[in-house]
Amino acid sequence: MKATLEFNLPEDGKDHEYALAGIDALLVIHDVEEEIRNMIRHDQGHFKEWKDEEGKLQVGCVATLERVWQYIIDCKQDRRLPYLD
């Protein structure tokens, strides 16, 4: 079985661009989920701590990250996004 997407360019240019960016969008979502997972499960990663614009050290909130992670999962399920293997 084969599947083909066709676009009438240039009038369907934006739709074509969106289709091409699909895997990159999934990879970005996956990377964010991995960073959240690293903080929650291993207490490390980008969300553990960082310096804000004023140079003050900020510490990630596990409870907030858990809610964000669940929100991402729910949105992916609602939109039937495929899971990356």
- 84 band by pLDDT with thresholds 50, 70 and 90: confident
Residue at 84 is within a domain: no
Give backbone dihedrals phi and psi of 37, rounded to 5 degrees, phi first: -60, -40
Long-range Cβ pairs for the range 55-60 (8 Å, 24+) = none
Q: Residue 14 has what pLDDT?
A: 94
The string over 15-36, giving b where at least 16 C-beta atoms fall within 10 Å of a residue's C-beta and e elsewhere, is ebeeeeeeeeeeeebeeebebb
4-38 confidence digits (pLDDT tens): 999 999 999 999 999 999 999 999 999 999 999 99
Q: Which domain holds residue 56?
A: 13-78
Number of domains in the chain: 1
Distance CA 36, CA 40 (A): 6
Residue at 35 is within a domain: yes
- 83 band by pLDDT with thresholds 50, 70 and 90: confident
Residue at 19 is within a domain: yes
**pTM greater than 0.85 (yes/no):** no
Residue at 5 is within a domain: no
